[in-house]
Chain A
Amino acid sequence: MSRKYIGILVVTALLFGSLLGSGALPVNAAIRIAVTIDGRPLVTDVAPEIRNGRTLVPFRAIFESLGARVEWDERTNTVRGTKGHITVTLPIGQRLAYVNGAPVNIDVAPQIISGRTMVPGRFVAETLGSTVEWNAATNTVAIRSLVEPRVGGEMVYALAGDPTTLNPLLSTDSASNFVISMIHSGLLRTNERLEIIGDLAEEWSVSADNLTLTFRIRRGVMWHDGRPLTAADIKFTYDTIMHPDYTGVRRRDFRAVREITTPDDHTLVMRLSEIDSSLLSKLFIGIIPRHIFQGHPVARLREHPNSRSPIGTGPYHFGSWLPGQQVVLNRNPNYFWAGQEPYIQRVRFRIIPDTQAQLVALEAGQIDWMGSIPVDDIERVRRTHAARLQFREVKQNGYWYIGMKQDHPIFRELRVRQALMYSLDRPGMVQTLFKGYGTVIHGDKPPVSWAHNPNLYTYPHNPAKARQLLEQAGWNRIGADGIRMNAAGQRLSFELISASGDQTRENMLNIIRNQWRAVGVDMRIELIEISVYFGKLDTGQFEIYQWGWNLGIDPDNFIFFHSTSGFNAEGVLMGFNDVGYSNPAVDRLIERGRATFNQEERRKIYWEIQEILNRDLPYVFLYNRNNIAAHVNRIRGIVWTEIGTTFFEKWFIDPATLR
């Protein structure tokens, strides 16, 4: 069994474990487990059950649907299934099974429940050569009989809008980034576990002083037009980003890079002016071909024809683009990752702006994949399309928060900030707004980050405590309108600004306002057009605001919380620390976090930063939201990360459905 399956097993085990834990709660006692085999639901007269974190299913149903012959030996109280040359024997009530006569330990014994003999589903399926996935979002055990991937077929993917450009140096929106990620390769990439690995770089080393990075570039990589890729292409790409005329948003990523050299065609050396461990995660950016873009003015990069019909080194090459309709990519049979040539012949991105319209297209079978099912439709779609669709939860690598100006007369008092935290029922909001598909966060790292500190204080919903803290902070009189006042007669009242045009955000802010009002805090909400809104944030014209961050995989948070990322002496915002948070201890930690490439050391640093932020509360930390993606069963071998990075080259279309 390959490593990726072991990975899945580990994840599955963890999920089963958590399920077991919550199984003790009466609310979750009625969870219904669905079992699907190659996407088709397994029909059983007795529902599958969970015992000790393992799913038990009626033996006849599972064996037969996996194509095995079943025997029941009443004398020995034993179930026997045979498929091809594999025979599985399961004595009832024993945590021991026999595979072709050899004993194997199992976690849960086969047992009789409601008069039916139930056997552990995963063990049986895997022994008979299938893979098993546990989908926590849908409580589904998906069993897939192992099939040989074959080249061919088409997958139709819904995008909400046209990509703005297909040049990796200039793209900022998710549609562009997504399409680009299939066409272009970076120097580095992540694997399924979000660990940094080489892509065009075969390997790399960091000098002892952490100031020189040396990359060995893979040999034999061909551009889609047949020309070989060399280190010069990579140098050209990075030099373009660092060029003063460059108009994109990535220059800051290369802030620490002093010089790039290419001693030979397959070696790239980067010399840094300061240590910056977050740089590696910036090298995921797609490399563009020097022979195409060389000589073109950098300021006009966007206008180059190949910025819209790109040439890359990735698993798919650009086919065609009909604006407002679709982008078509074809498989690159010469993809350089050995043994990872893409299987799916053609990937078609259809542009469907409205989410409800996307959902209709998915239900009507016009598209094969939808990235995010609207929250309110998840239950219904899952119920009505269980036989045809599969669902996956995509975690958000980011969070929503409320930023409070730290020197504001109301918010500079820690007890007020604490009271604002305590008065919010954040888990309740995740339930109401996202139907539970989200996570409450208490620091600046979401759980998907390797630097996430799980031990932070959770500020549980406690209006009484909030009132008490406000009293202590001097807001101890209550006006006729129920709003608190201090001794000077000032009302505990302020205006929150945020960007208009997002229904979920409006709902969220209304809930927050209601919960704050309940403890005597008055908040007015002003929703502004987004460019005006950013203008106000960047010039500090606010009391309190609501926003969210989508983060990179590196935990460096210099631009958010370092004191020099706030407003400088001239009033210019230097980073995103618009709340003006300043804590010398945090400054030092952030600097140290940037100055080492050692992940364990960095983890400790960021854990400490999270603890301080959790105490200092520069933000009211809210939550993040997870998406539910849906796709047709036909798509197999899906490999991706928790945050939705896809590895299309490994996917394939069920060969049974291919002509």
Chain B
Amino acid sequence: MDARLMPKEETYAQMVWRRFRHHKLAMISLGVLIVLYSMAILAPWVTPYHYDHMDFDKISQPPSLEHWFGTDRIGADLFSRVIWGSRISLSVGFAAAGIALVLGTVIGAISGYYGGVIDDILMRFTEIVASFPTMFLLLTVIAVLPRSVMNIMIVIGATSWPGLARLVRGQFLSLREQDYVEAARAIGATNTRIVFKHILLNTMAPIIVNASLRIGGAILTESGLSFLGLGVTTPPSWGTILNGGRPLLRSAPWITTIPGIFIFVTVLAFNYVGDGLRDALDPRATK
């Protein structure tokens, strides 16, 4: 077997990392994300107040030394709420993308590898899911089950995989005809081994890139749901805080500006990391 096809884990990872480091914006973004995630994990220790602590005498106050991000409509400290909220938003993003990643990859891979009737059935199923109105499904799920972070993650994840499944399937369709797969078959590798050892490794790049973009996408979807009053409220997600500040957009703009900036910086960072990964994982790139 050609050594190039089965690169040692370390060397491959090292090469990717070396290339990734060249992408300055991606590196900065990675740094930003690490800070954000650490803050989320350390929320109870870095925030001065609990997320639903409120002080009637300090309603809608602009940022100050005492309240770094100001206070909201009912006198809660926005800094504490935003940091607590990052737990929700970041984990919704991660979990939903994770669910979509698993579903999309598995379904796309099976469909693309086996083809034929299996492909037809799975692709039609994918189309059903893709065409199903997300809002309708969400409302149904949220109505039947209590509104929790878990359910929102599941719904966002379970509705956002079809694109990825198509992508993986496409990769598999073209890769399975390639010589090295034929070669692997010739030496008697089982179907499963071929699929997962060979093709999947070569499909990794677009999948990882897609997943990193999808995290940002899921965070945005959650904030869109907040607009409809379906966001996560305890603790409040960034989207919920942003939506809560909607009536004060002009009288107390910091209530919307701060969670808004957190959302777009995070999503932007994921976009850049995805961009960096795309370049780093691209087998044709010469850098």
Which residues of A are interface residues toward B (Cβ below 8 A)?
355-356, 374-377, 379-380, 425, 428, 432-433, 500-503, 506-507, 510-511, 513-514, 525-529, 531-532
Cα distance, A376 to B248, chains bound together (Å): 6
Is B31 an interface position by the 8 A CB rule? no
Query: Which residues 18-60 of B have a CB within 8 angstroms of A?
Result: 52, 54, 56, 59-60
Closest A residue to B249 by CB, please name it: A356
Instruction: Looking at the assembled complex, report how far the CB atom of B236 sits from the nearest CB atom of chain A, in whole angstroms.
Output: 9
Most A-side CB within 10 Å, residue of B60, B139, B142, B229: B229
Instruction: Looking at the assembled complex, report how far the CB atom of B188 sits from the nearest CB atom of chain A, in whole angstroms.
Output: 56
Most A-side CB within 10 Å, residue of B147, B228, B251: B251
Do residues B74 and A511 form an inter-chain contact, with CB atoms below 8 A? yes
Is B200 an interface position by the 8 A CB rule? no
Do residues A356 and B54 form an inter-chain contact, with CB atoms below 8 A? no
Q: Tell whether A510 pairs with B143 under 8 Å between CB atoms, given A356-B246, A374-B247, A380-B250.
A: no
Number of A-B contacts defined by CB within 8 Å: 62
Closest A residue to B246 by CB, please name it: A356
Q: Tell me the dominant secondary structure on chain A's binding face.
A: helix
Contact of A500 among B75, B229, B247, B249 (CB under 8 A): B229
Encoded as 1 (CB less than 8 Å from any A CB) or 0, chain B from 233 to 260 comes to 1100000000110111111100000000
Instruction: Looking at the assembled complex, report how far the CB atom of B269 sits from the nearest CB atom of chain A, in whole angstroms.
Output: 29
| A residues near B233, Cβ cutoff 8 Å | 506, 527
Closest A residue to B244 by CB, please name it: A503
Do residues A529 and B139 form an inter-chain contact, with CB atoms below 8 A? yes
Do residues B243 and A503 form an inter-chain contact, with CB atoms below 8 A? yes
| B residues near A510, Cβ cutoff 8 Å | 52, 54, 74
Do residues B54 and A511 form an inter-chain contact, with CB atoms below 8 A? yes
Contact of A356 among B228, B229, B230, B247 (CB under 8 A): B247
Q: Tell whether A529 pairs with B142 under 8 Å between CB atoms, given A432-B74, A510-B74.
A: yes
| A residues near B54, Cβ cutoff 8 Å | 510-511, 514
Do residues A355 and B229 form an inter-chain contact, with CB atoms below 8 A? no
| B residues near A433, Cβ cutoff 8 Å | 74
Closest B residue to A529 by CB, please name it: B143
Instruction: Looking at the assembled complex, report how far the CB atom of B77 sits from the nearest CB atom of chain A, in whole angstroms.
Output: 13
| B residues near A511, Cβ cutoff 8 Å | 54, 56, 74
Do residues B251 and A507 form an inter-chain contact, with CB atoms below 8 A? no
Is B146 an interface position by the 8 A CB rule? yes
Contact of A526 among B75, B146, B246 (CB under 8 A): B146
Is B198 an interface position by the 8 A CB rule? no
| B residues near A355, Cβ cutoff 8 Å | 247
| A residues near B247, Cβ cutoff 8 Å | 355-356, 374-377, 503
Is B73 an interface position by the 8 A CB rule? yes
Contacts A500-B147, A511-B54 aside, 19 further interface pairs with beta carbons under 8 A come to A356-B246, A356-B247, A356-B249, A374-B247, A376-B60, A376-B248, A376-B251, A379-B251, A428-B56, A432-B59, A432-B75, A500-B230, A503-B243, A506-B244, A511-B56, A514-B52, A514-B54, A527-B233, A529-B139
Do residues A532 and B229 form an inter-chain contact, with CB atoms below 8 A? no
| A residues near B52, Cβ cutoff 8 Å | 510, 513-514
Query: Which residues 116-154 of B have a CB within 8 angstroms of A?
Result: 139, 142-143, 146-147
Instruction: Looking at the assembled complex, report how far the CB atom of A519 sits from the nearest CB atom of chain B, in whole angstroms.
Output: 16
Q: List 6 A-B contacts (CB under 8 A).
A: A376-B251, A377-B250, A432-B74, A500-B230, A510-B54, A511-B56
| B residues near A527, Cβ cutoff 8 Å | 147, 233
Closest A residue to B72 by CB, please name it: A507
Closest A residue to B144 by CB, please name it: A532
Instruction: Looking at the assembled complex, report how far the CB atom of A37 sits from the nearest CB atom of chain B, in whole angstroms.
Output: 29
| B residues near A514, Cβ cutoff 8 Å | 52, 54
Do residues B251 and A377 form an inter-chain contact, with CB atoms below 8 A? yes
Instruction: Looking at the assembled complex, report how far the CB atom of B89 sits from the nearest CB atom of chain A, in whole angstroms.
Output: 18
| A residues near B147, Cβ cutoff 8 Å | 500, 527-528
Closest A residue to B59 by CB, please name it: A432
| B residues near A380, Cβ cutoff 8 Å | 250-251
Q: Which 10 A-B pairs have the closest CB atoms?
A: A501-B229, A529-B143, A376-B251, A507-B74, A374-B247, A376-B248, A376-B247, A532-B143, A503-B244, A514-B54
Do residues B73 and A507 form an inter-chain contact, with CB atoms below 8 A? yes
